[in-house]
């Protein structure tokens, strides 16, 4: 797996939330042999025992069940420890979700039916906003408590935590809460991780302006997940084939930022190479 990534021209790889424990010996061997370096890990990595599919939300920081929250903490610590072992610099985290009915999929269905400006779409957006505002406080409190515990531990290992923006409207921090949430953690070990596809999906849904939102988060930015979005919400596509404005994103690049291609496993190698070359053409190879 890592040799294929290296063959495609990447010096670093991110270990994501689909890595089974059985893969770890080979990964560690490849890193120690200098075949590739690891930039980042995405929680939970490795997967919990018995789980054989990508599962970043299998344990939620915001769960009502205290045992689930403790499992989330325990497996997050394992991710941090593995990151340190592999000399990665950052772990990407999902913070959890509000306990509310599903709105994202319903809005997506309406978009696919060209009903973006319908009364039904407007009413569903209003319902989503109202429910999020009414129910977010408990989720944010639990997420903040968990992040405090994890940040203390991550600092011991010299690992930064990147809080990722999410594509689903029910997940936290909400767009309007993200800046304030990070202000509570005014410490160098906690940063913002920008998934450009997720932000584009929320722009397509009508919940934010990608550029204005990123401008507000740029001071705490640690890095990017790079992929494209084909309308309305089909993400992890080959860069250059969708609606993400990579020229706009170039304005926010800094040499210290980590850039990770997070592409669908269904893409063929030539599509990965073409998307990589497109981004290099627009952004340069910094």
Q: pLDDT for 97-135, tens place per residue?
A: 999 999 999 999 999 999 999 999 999 999 999 999 999
Class of 2-100+139-283 per CATH?
alpha beta
CA torsion, ordered 172, 159, 180, 65, to nearest 10 deg: 40
Q: pLDDT for 140-170, tens place per residue?
A: 999 999 999 999 999 999 999 999 999 999 9
Spatial neighbors of 222 by CB under 8 A, at least 6 apart, are: 90, 160, 162, 191, 192, 193, 257, 258
Q: pLDDT for 33-51, tens place per residue?
A: 999 999 999 999 999 988 8
Q: What share of the chain is helix, strand, coil (3-state, %, to 5)?
A: 45, 15, 40
Spatial neighbors of 189 by CB under 8 A, at least 6 apart, are: 151, 154, 155, 159, 160, 161
Rounded to the nearest 5 degrees, what angle is found at the Cα of 54, between the Cα atoms of 47 and 135? 100
Q: Whole-model pTM?
A: 0.96
> Where are the chain's structural domains?
2-100+139-283
Q: pLDDT for 171-210, tens place per residue?
A: 999 999 999 999 999 888 999 999 999 999 999 999 999 9
Stretch 56-77: mean pLDDT? 96
């Amino acid at each position: 797996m890592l040799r294929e990534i290296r063959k495609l021209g990447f010096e670093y790889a991110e270990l994501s939330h689909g890595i089974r424990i059985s893969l770890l010996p080979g990964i560690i061997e490849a890193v120690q042999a200098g075949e590739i370096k690891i930039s980042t890990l995405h929680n939970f990595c490795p997967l919990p025992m018995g789980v054989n599919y990508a599962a970043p939300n299998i344990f939620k920081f915001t769960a009502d069940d205290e045992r689930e929250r403790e499992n989330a903490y325990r497996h997050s610590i394992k991710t941090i420890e593995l990151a340190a072992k592999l000399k990665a610099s950052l772990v990407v985290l999902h913070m959890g979700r509000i306990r509310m009915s599903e709105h994202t999929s319903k809005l997506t269905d309406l978009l696919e039916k060209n009903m973006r400006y319908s009364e039904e779409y407007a009413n569903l957006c209003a319902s989503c906003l109202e429910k999020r505002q009414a129910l977010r406080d408990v989720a944010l409190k639990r997420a903040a408590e968990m992040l405090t515990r994890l940040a203390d531990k991550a600092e011991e290992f010299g690992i930064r935590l990147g809080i990722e923006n999410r594509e689903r409207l029910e997940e936290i921090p909400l767009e309007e809460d993200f800046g304030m949430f990070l202000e509570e953690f005014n410490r160098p070990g906690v940063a913002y991780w920008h998934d450009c596809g997720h932000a584009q999906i929320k722009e397509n849904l009508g919940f934010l302006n990608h550029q204005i939102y990123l401008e507000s988060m740029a001071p705490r930015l640690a890095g990017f997940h790079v992929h494209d979005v084909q309308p309305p919400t089909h993400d992890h596509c080959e860069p250059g084939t969708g609606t993400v404005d990579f020229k706009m994103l170039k304005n926010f690049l800094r040499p210290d930022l980590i850039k990770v291609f997070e592409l669908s496993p269904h893409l063929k190698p030539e599509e990965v190479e073409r998307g990589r070359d497109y981004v290099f053409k627009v952004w340069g190879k910094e």
